[in-house]
Structure 1
Amino acid sequence: MLSRLMAATARHRRLILSCELLVALAVVVLDPGRHFFPWAIAVVLVGLALAIAAVNRRQAALVLESEPPAFGTPVNPGPVFLFGAYVPIMGSNVGTSLRNVAERDELWQLDLVVVVLCAVALGLLIRATWVGQDFQLRRDGVVHRTAVGSLVVPWEAFALDQPAYPGGKDGQVAFTYRRPELVRRRGLPRGWELRTVTGVDVWFLSRVIHHYVTHPEHRAAIGTEGEYRRLRESLELTPEPR
């Protein structure tokens, strides 16, 4: 049941996000937090529980992408649930703060700061939810995008002996390079080689990266169904259920 909920949420995440935005707007305008406090607490708790469960759900699988041809990590529905949990808190706080700013109440400057911080958090959550995919293995290398930056690593930049390995806490993968000058970074953070990847088992991901670093002859077929079957067979993994 939970797996079906996760899959459906990931598949329809943009529609769900649009509905959540409408609810957030209604909460800002009507400020029901004062009158429906138990309801708001229940939404927050359920949303956080589902977000935590989604973040910890990691699959030894990739998805096929066509433009450009790539293997991507499965979409993680965690940001959708997190945004749902954020709606009552954000809506009530922003609604109250906006009224205080409009009426120039005491410490209205602090309320303005609250509105700005909520807007920043809202923007990051919307981007993380709408984009969905955050990690791709392409024919020319690896691309990792986050809400605040991106990392592009050509295959030639990776170290040959251990290009990637699970590191730090669960869900993180570390990269090692032999030609770091080929790596391209944008945004923040810059220079960090420990990446947090959602939706995929990092041991599996590390093995896939090592495979393509050491077998360049197979890179041209990345993104095709036949290459994905061959990859799983070479890694001695069972076929994915259809």
Structure 2
Amino acid sequence: MISKVSAATARHRHVVLLLGLLVAGVNAAAVGFAPSLGQVLFTPLLLLTLAVLVLSATAVAIRLASFVVLPQVPAFATPAPASKVFFALGYLGPASAGVGALVRSAREGIASTPDLVFTMSWLALVALLVVEAWRGHEVQLRPDGIRHRWVLGSLTVPWEALPTAHVPRGRTARRGFE
């Protein structure tokens, strides 16, 4: 069951992330402008966040042993991991509550600089997680080499830089059978 949910989430990660951002925006607006509605939304959002973080922890071990063809690049890539999508969604809930609380504090005139710095740092972390989940593919096999991408950049190892395999010939190859 979890593998099917993970596969569907990875396949439709853009839609899932957009829905998560929509829920986070509604929660931030509710906490910031309608505190009573924010209190009503607190428990369902907390349960949803915990469920998504548990899914993230269990989906880390689920990785498909296949490649995705990217004809526009051209490249073969590893499938997008669902755990990154779940992890980003798990951090969106608390971040939206923090933004809503900051908005409410600013409207009441009691916002402080440490609150602002903490909330902006939290938002930067969540933005990095969402961008990483949005991109999806980590490792690509390209004509020029192997490219590993992450949110802060990429690393390409040319095929010429990889060690070649040395296959023993003759009797040395059969040493274990004698």
TM-score after normalising by structure 2: 0.81
Q: Distance in 2 between matches of 1:111 and 1:147?
A: 26
Choose from 89, 94, 97 the match for 1:89.
94
User: How far off its partner does 1:10 sit?
Assistant: 1.0
**Match in the other structure for 1:67:** 72
In structure 2, what is the equivalent of residue 224 of structure 1? none
Q: C-alpha separation between the residues in 2 aligned to 1:67 and 1:89?
A: 37
Where do 4+ consecutive residues of structure 1 move more than 4 Å? none
> Contact 1:25–1:91 (CA<8 Å) still a contact in 2?
yes
130, 143, 158: which is aligned to 2:134? 130
* Larger proportion of helix: 2
1:26 aligns with 2:58: no
Cα deviation 1:121-158 (Å, max 9, x = unaligned): 12112211211111101121011110112101101112
Q: In structure 2, do the counterparts of structure 1 residues 101 and 160 end up closer, same or farther at CA, with 3 Å as the change threshold?
A: farther
Judge conservation of contact 1:94–1:118 (CA < 8 Å) in 2: no
Q: TM-score, normalised by structure 1?
A: 0.61
Contact 2:3 2:59 in 1 (8 A): no
The verdict on how the C-alpha distance between 1:38 and 1:102 changes in structure 2, with shifts beyond 3 A counting, is closer
Contact residue 27 and residue 41 of structure 2 kept, 8 A: no
The structure-2 alpha-carbon separation of the partners of 1:115 and 1:68, relative to structure 1 and needing over 3 Å to count, comes to same
Percent sequence identity over matched residues? Answer: 36
Of 84, 102, 106, the residue aligned with 1:79 is 84
Which residue number corresponds to residue 100 of structure 1? 105
The RMSD of aligned alpha carbons is 2.0
Aligned to 2:17: 17
**Consecutive unaligned residues in structure 2, runs of 5 or more:** 32-36, 167-178
Greater relative contact order (CA < 8 Å, ≥ 6 in sequence): 2
Structure 1 residue 7 corresponds to structure 2 residue 12: no
Which ranges in structure 1 are unaligned for 5 or more consecutive residues? 163-242
Shift of 1:103: 3.6
The 3-state SS of whatever aligns with 1:35 is helix
CA–CA distance in structure 2, aligned partners of residues 88 and 130 of structure 1? 17
Question: Greater Rg, structure 1 or structure 2?
Answer: 2
Provide the rounded CA distance (Å) in 1 between the counterparts of 2:165 and 2:109.
63
